[in-house]
Amino acid sequence: METMISFSAPSFLHIPTPHEPTTPPLRKSMFFSTTTTNTTTQLTNSPLLSIVHGNKSKSKLFTALSPSPLTESSNTPEAETEVEPKGEKFDWYSQWYPVMPICDLDKRAPHGKKVLGIDVVVWWDRNESAWKVFDDACPHRLAPLSEGRIDQWGRLQCVYHGWCFNGSGDCKLIPQAPPDAPPFHTFKKACVAAYPSTVQNGMLWFWPNSDPQYKDILERKKPPYIPEIDDPSYTSLMGNRDIPYGYEVLIENLMDPAHVPYAHYGIMQKVDREGGRPLELAIEKLDVNGFLAEQGWSKSKFMPPCVFYAYSHDQPAPSGENQKSSKQKKFSLIFVCIPVSPGKSRLIWCFPRNFGLWMDKIVPRWFFHIGQNLILDSDLYLLHVEEYKLMEVGSANWAKACFVPTKSDALVVGFRKWLNKYAGGQVDWRGKYSGVLAPTPPREQLFDRYWSHVVNCRSCNRAYKSLNVAEVALQIICVASIGIVAAMKQGTMSTFTRSSMVVVAVLSFALSRWLAHFIYKNFRYHDYNHAFR
């Protein structure tokens, strides 16, 4: 079922929510109108179907009963740049940021990541049984600690000169220091900057300030908490991918359902290529802490800087059933958008649901990720180019450059309002970057799946290695079968056996070629041409 939700990854954000106080629906606007029965049927029939398909109308996903926003100027999303009010300023460096899902981190080795322009190393301290986040630079000569190792005493070791550090960042060993020398390892300059970190909702979070005053920040401020992820009655498989466009563009895309039938036709929208309809979206509340949006049958929340959360309303039990005999089917869509650097971001997704749990026990996680990556690929180039055009006009001129007259863009406009009003109009990189994006790489590099996902996903990495072993094994079987037939003298092998060996050789060769294509297309590079879909 992660498949089902997964195939809406960048576009299906308007799902009903059980956890917010109910408000009157907006003219019966509908974004997800599939019945739970039909949803279950879709999951059973195909792991590649999205939850957004229904069987009542070929364009059901985009049904809305409101009049055109163009005829109601008072309801049109406003995109004016707002002046930041006094006393309400979003501090990018006083927030918790997720680094990676815990399920994709290997405790045996350190991992290098970049978040908010900060290079960090993540490693498992077995002495404290906790994940640690350090500055990814050895204080000796600034070699990356992420290229190091965890030594036999459970310390993080820099492999350039062997300096070792404990879980607090204190240097415990300088091999080059003579025994009679001063204790250089105790000097403050020998320590590594250690960031506050915690594990919540299956993700490792860190606070991007190593000042000692933030050592106990977790007692004062915690990361956003989403109960469905930790609820044992829900299934909540995660995925992650590095994205070749920036944080702002990533969040806007996830908040925009109107592009689904066009950008994702053939993956999520299989019935009607021209399935666009007016959408009734509205922002209910917007302040420095984000905003709440209402879509009639669903709600969504933006919890800055990273979390966009869409969830379903409570639905009445089916006719003829009571609450005791029918468990309420619920699902949520959680997107965690991490600013990495200008033109780069990281997405962590999770789609908790309390039904169809059997599917995750049968279908391997990597198989779901194939479809989720295809969704991301289908509008990747569009958004990459869009970001370059926005850079040319400047983030402050977004409202002037983009024409957003309909209510289908209400959430995108709401995000831009929040960004301009409270957060300075863009991510605060603290002068680390010039603001100029790197040139567009070749498509093979832009659409690369191996370095952007496979190496960072334990399940896909294992599948990739296993499938490559299977391909080699098939080639060996092919060669061995032909060799046996050629080596055997005439008459020592029956005609049937000889024919069988030839068939095995041909089938092994054909299967190895198909497997090679499957591996390359799903784990290395998959181009996406909308004109031929």
CATH of the domain at 239: 3.90.380.10
Q: Domain check: are 306 and 397 in the same one?
A: yes
Final residue in a domain of this structure, among 395, 411, 441 = 441
Helices and strands: H and E segment counts in the chain: 14, 18
Q: What is the mean pLDDT of residues 143-170?
A: 97
Residue with tokens 């994709």, as numbered in its chain: 104
Statement: residue 367 has pLDDT above 90: yes
Q: Could you tell me the pTM of the whole model?
A: 0.81
**Same-domain status, 213 and 310:** no
Do residues 332 and 237 make contact, with C-beta atoms less than 8 angstroms apart? Answer: no
Q: Is 271 inside any structural domain?
A: yes
- Helices 365-378 and 380-393 cross at an angle (nearest 10°) of 40
Q: Are residues 211 and 335 in the same domain?
A: no
CA dist 529 and 447 (Å) reads 12
471 shares a domain with 384: no
Whether 79 maps to a domain, the answer reads no
Q: What is the pLDDT of residue 314?
A: 60
Domain boundary at 176, 201, 218, which? 218
User: Is the model's pLDDT at 29 over the cut of 50?
Assistant: no
Residue at 359 is within a domain: yes
- Give pLDDT, residue 27: 36
- Confidence (pLDDT) at 220: 95
Which pLDDT band, with edges at 50, 70 and 90, does 436 fall under? confident
Closest CA relative to residue 337, chosen from 220, 460, 255: 255
Residues 243 and 366 in one domain: yes
Question: Are 380 and 289 in a shared domain?
Answer: yes
Q: Are residues 257 and 337 in the same domain?
A: yes
CATH of the domain at 109: 2.102.10.10
Residues 420, 495, single domain; the answer is no
Per residue in 191-236, pLDDT (tens digit) is 999 999 999 999 999 999 999 999 999 999 999 999 999 999 898 8
Return the residue matching tokens 């957060």. Answer: 423
- On whether residue 44 sits in a domain, the answer given is no
Q: Determine the Cα–Cα distance for residues 56 and 45; give it in Å rounded to an integer.
A: 17
Give the tokens for residue 415.
């995000």
Residues 347 and 244 in one domain: yes
63-104 pLDDT per residue, tens: 333 333 333 334 455 554 444 455 589 999 999 999 999 999
Do the domain assignments include residue 73? no
Q: Number of structural domains, the chain?
A: 3
Residue 520 has pLDDT above 90, yes or no: yes
User: Does the pLDDT value for residue 133 go beyond 90?
Assistant: yes
The reported pLDDT for the residue numbered 445 is: 92
Least confident span in 14-28, 407-421, 469-483, 499-513: 14-28
| In the predicted structure, residue 492 carries a pLDDT above the cut 50 | yes
Examine residue 19 and state whether it is found in any structural domain, yes or no.
no
Domain containing 393 equals 225-314+330-441
Do 213 and 238 belong to one domain?
no
More confident residue, 41 or 484: 484
Q: What is the 3-state secondary structure (H, E, C) of 381-414?
A: HHHHHHHHHHHHHCHHHHHHHCCCCCHHHHHHHH
Half-sphere exposure of 289 (CA within 13 A, CB side): 5
Residues 301 and 435 in one domain: yes
Which residues make Cβ contacts (< 8 Å) with residue 190, sequence separation at least 6?
A: 139, 140, 163, 171, 174, 184
Last residue of a domain, one of 177, 200, 218: 218
**Across residues 331-356, what is the average pLDDT?**
93
Q: Specify whether 241 is located in the same domain as 211.
A: no
Tokens 């180039």, located at residue: 381
- Please report the pLDDT score of residue 50 as a whole number: 36
CB 482 within 8 A of CB 500: no
